[in-house]
Amino acid sequence: MAPFIADSYYSGGTTASTSNAIDTSGVTNPAPQAVYQSNRYGNFTYTIPNLTAGAAYTVRLHFAETYWNAAGKRVFNVSINGQQVLTNFDIYAAAGGANKAVVKEFSVTASTSGTLTIQFSTVVDNAQVNGLEILPPAGGTPIPTPVAGAVQINAGGPAVAPFIADSYYSGGTTASTSNAIDTSGVTNPAPQAVYQSNRYGNFTYTIPNLTAGAAYTVRLHFAETYWNAAGKRVFNVSINGQQVLTNFDIYAAAGGANKAVVKEFSVTASTSGTLTIQFSTVVDNAQVNGLEILPAAGGTPTPTPTSAPSPTPTPTGTPPAGTPNFGPNVYIFDPSMPSSTIQSTLDAIYSQQQTNQFGTNRYALLFKPGTYNVTVNVGFYTQVLGLGRSPDDVVINGAVNLDAAWMNGNATQNFWRGAENLKIIPSGGWNKWAAAQASPLHRVDIQGNLLLWDGGWASGGFLADSLVTGQTQSGSQQQWFSRNDQLGSWNGGVWNMVFVGVNGAPPPSFPNPPETVVNQTPVIREKPFLYIDQSGNYYVFVPALRSNSQGTTWANGTPAGTSIPISQFYIAHPGDSVATINNALAQGLNLLFTPGVYQLNGTINITRPNTVVLGLGLATLVPQNGVIPMTVADVDGVSIAGLLFDAGPVNSPVLLQVGPSGSSQDHTSNPTVLSDVFFRIGGAGPGQATQSLVINSNNVIGDDLWLWRADHGSGVGWTVNPAANGLVVNGNNVTMYGLFVEHYQQYEVIWNGNGGRTYFFQNEMPYDPPNQAAWMNGSTRGYAAYKVADSVTSHEAWGVGSYCYFNVDPSIVADRAFEVPDTAGVTFHDLVTVSLGGVGTIQHIINNTGGPSNSTTTNAYLVSYP
C-alpha cells in the first residue's frame, strides 16, 4: 500500500475496517483503495514529529463513510496546531454518499518544535479519518518514509522518520549527544539523529508479532560517541540465543569515534513469532543506536508498535441477558466454561500484554463465583477480578502470576496491573507476584506462599486486605507496603518494608532488617469492588469506614458497607464525550469506566457526595488542550478507584484536583478516598502537567498512589515531559498509605496542611537534570523529595525512602531528601536514602541530618527525626 505507512503517531481512538468497495472517482490523487477501507475513530490526535520548524506543509486528510447511510449521523471538528480547520464536518454529506472518498487539503506551518498536531473531536457519534498525508512544499525536504514492512527503531531516542521512537526494549539506560556523525562508510545509513541517541547497559529488544519461522534481516546501527580509543567499550550480541557479535568494539569496527557502523544478520523468527536481541556487557556498557528488522523478499511485513496485530483472545460467548455493557475488553468467565477455553483466552491476552508497557490495550478479566483450574498470567493493563461478595467465592486452582520473564527476571518495570477478590490455591505451593509500582493486590486469599520477586531486581509493591496462609518472601524487593493483611510469616527486607494494621507482621527492627511496623490502621475505607448476586445482578460494594483496625475486612464474614446496583452507574466507554459523562453525573449516577483510553476535551466534575468513580482494566484518562481531566467538589465520601491519569501533549495545570482552593469542610466521618489512582507524565508519548494531584479538601485518604514522571519510554527528557510537583496537599488531616512519587523536577511532594500522616513513601529523584545549575532551588542544590511547609505545626511519617540516580550528570548533589520545619509536632520515623549504583549524591537525609548517600556509602539510615 506504499507510499502510506502503517498507522503511526496517534494517541486515542479505536480502529475499524471494512471490505466495502470505495468510489475514489471524485478525488484528485486519491489514496489506495485499502486506505479508505480502514479508519481510526473516536476522539484522537495525530502528532507528526521531525518536521522543519516554521516550514510550510500541505496536509491532506482522506475520508470515506463506510458505516452510516445518511447525513448527520457522524459530525466532528478537526484542528491543526490548535487552529480549527473543519467545523461540523460530515463525511457522508461532503462526499455525496456512503463508500465515497473525499479529501480535505490545508496549507499549514509546522510548530516551533517541528510538529503538526492534528486533533479530531466528536460532535455526533465519532470523529473518523482514513488517511493522512503531510507533504512538504515544492523543493522542500521530503518527509522520510519507512522501508516497506520494516520495523526501524531509534534506540534511546524519539521518532526520527522513518525510525520509530525507542520501543520493545527491557533494561538499559538512554543517552544522547550533539556530536556530528560520519555516515560515509555505511551503505543505507540511518538518519543522523539515530546515531546521536543510544541505549546502553545490559538490555534486550524483543520484537513481537513476526511470522513464526520466517526469514528476516536484522541491521544494527552503532556509533561510539563517548570513548576515544579502542577497548573502552566491548560487548556481545545474541539473536534468539545465538551469539552474533563477540567482543564487539564500536570504535574499532568503525575506525574511530563519531563514525557510523552497521552490522547485518540473516535470522529466523522463533516459533512464537519473535526476535529477541540481547546486548551483554564485557567492558563498560553494551550499546546500540538503532535497529532495523526487515522481512526477507516476499516475506510478511513486520508491524510497528502502533499497529502491531495481536493474538485475538478467544470469545467467551454471548453474555447472558442482563449483563451490563462493559465493552469488548471485559471478559466474563463462568465456571461452566471448559477450562481449556478459558485458558486459551487468558494466554492470548497475556501474549498481547506481556511486554506492552506503553500500549493502548486495556483488559479486565472477571470471574463469576465458582472454581477454576487455570493459571492466570497477568500482563500490562490487565486487571483480574473475582465477582463474589467474599474472596473465597472465586477459587483459582493454579496461580495468578506476575513474573518478569520479559526482562530476564528484572521486575522493576512490572507496572499497571492488579488482582482482587480471589482465593488462590497455587500449584506447587507458591504464587509469584513480582510487582513494581501500580500493581496492587487487594482482597486476595492465598492458600500457600507468596513470592514477590523473580530472581532479579524488584521494586514494589502493595498488598491490602489480604490473607497469605504461608510465607511471604520479599526477596530483592527494595521496598514494600502491606496494610490490613493477615500473614503466616514474612521473610526478607532490602531498604524499606512497612506494615500497617497487619496481623503476623515481622517485629519492628528498622534498619536491620528494615521493617517498620504500625500496629493499627488509624482510618481507612477499602477500595470499592464489583460483584454479582445469585440472580446474576451486578453491584458495586463500597466497604464501610474503619478506624484503628487490624487485619482484613472479610475474616469474619461479609464486611460492613453499602451495595449499589449497577443501574445506578453510568457505564462509560472510550469515545464518550465529557458532556455526556457530566450529564450522567448531574443526574445522580455514579461512574464506571470500562477498559480503554479516554481522550478528554473537558473536565469531568464530581460534585455529589458519596459518588463512586470506578475504573476497570486501568482505564486511562488523557486530557487534551491542557484541560484538567477531573475535579472533585468539597463534599463527603467520594470514592475514586482504579484510574490512570496520563498527561496530554499540552500542559495541564493539574491532573486531579480534590476540592477547590480554599476548601474548609470537615469530612472526618465520611472522607473522600483515592484507591489505586495512578498518574503518568510521558512514557507513552509526550506529556506535561505542572502538578499531578492537588488535595484541597480536608480528611482525604490516599491508598496506593503512584505519581510518575517517566524516566523511560517515549516522550521523555528534561524539557520533553516537564512536571514540577507530584502531590500537593493543602487540606488538613490528610492521610496517605503507600505513596509512591518519582522523578518530578521540583519538590515532588509539598505538604501545606496540618495533621498530615504518611505511612510509607517511596521516591526516586529525577534522573535527568542536565547539570547542577539546571537543578537548583535558589542556593540549595536540588529539591527535597518531600517538603513539609514551614507553616505546618503537625505532621508525622513512617517508613520513608528517597533514592537518586543522576545518570546524565553523576556529579549532581541533592542537599537533602526531606525538608521539614523543626517543630515538636513534626516527626519522621524510619528514613532511608540510597544512591543507586553510587550515581549521584544525597547529602543529607532530612534537613541537615543524616547521610550522605553517594558513591562511597550508597545507603544512609535514620531511625527518627527529630
3-state secondary structure of 520: coil
**β-strand partners of 121:** 77
Closest CA to 618 of 356, 357, 381, 380: 381
Give the H or E element holding residue 580.
helix 578-586
The residues, ordered by sequence, that sit 6+ positions from 405 with a Cβ below 8 Å of its Cβ are: 354, 454
Closest CA to 546 of 705, 386, 737: 737
Q: DSSP code of 510?
A: T
Are the C-beta atoms of residues 164 and 305 closer than 8 Å to each other? yes
3-state secondary structure of 393: helix
**β-strand partners of 682:** none
Q: Count Cα atoms within 13 angstroms, Cβ side, for 367.
A: 33
Three cell numbers, residue 393: 467465592
Give DSSP secondary structure letters for 201-238.
EEEEEEE-SPPTT-EEEEEEEEE--S-SSTTSSEEEEE
Residue identified by cell 568503525 is 254
Burial of 848 (0-12, 13-18, 19+ CB in 10 A): exposed
Closest CA to 832 of 371, 376, 513: 513
Three cell numbers, residue 257: 569515534
Are the C-beta atoms of residues 381 and 407 closer than 8 Å to each other? no
Are the C-beta atoms of residues 829 and 864 closer than 8 Å to each other? yes
Give DSSP secondary structure letters for 412-441.
TT--SEEEEEEEEEETTSEEEB---TT--E
Are the C-beta atoms of residues 821 and 828 closer than 8 Å to each other? no
Q: Are strands 604-606 and 612-623 parallel, antiparallel or unpaired?
A: unpaired
**β-strand partners of 750:** 728, 787
Are the C-beta atoms of residues 688 and 647 closer than 8 Å to each other? yes
Rounded CA Rg of the chain: 27
Are the C-beta atoms of residues 456 and 481 closer than 8 Å to each other? no
CA distance 800 to 225: 39
State the catalytic residues.
764
Beta strands in 474-586 (DSSP E): 479-483, 486-491, 496-500, 515-518, 521-524, 529-532, 538-543, 546-549, 561-565, 569-572
CB atoms within 10 A of CB 794: 17
CA distance 80 to 90: 18
Closest CA to 458 of 433, 478, 488, 483: 478
Are the C-beta atoms of residues 431 and 400 closer than 8 Å to each other? yes
Phi, psi dihedrals of residue 52, rounded to the nearest 5°:
-85, 120
CB atoms within 10 A of CB 81: 14
3-state secondary structure of 562: strand
Give the H or E element holding residue 796.
strand 795-804
Phi, psi dihedrals of residue 520, rounded to the nearest 5°:
-125, 150
Type of residue numbered 75? V
CA distance 829 to 628: 35
Are the C-beta atoms of residues 693 and 707 closer than 8 Å to each other? yes
Type of residue numbered 496? N
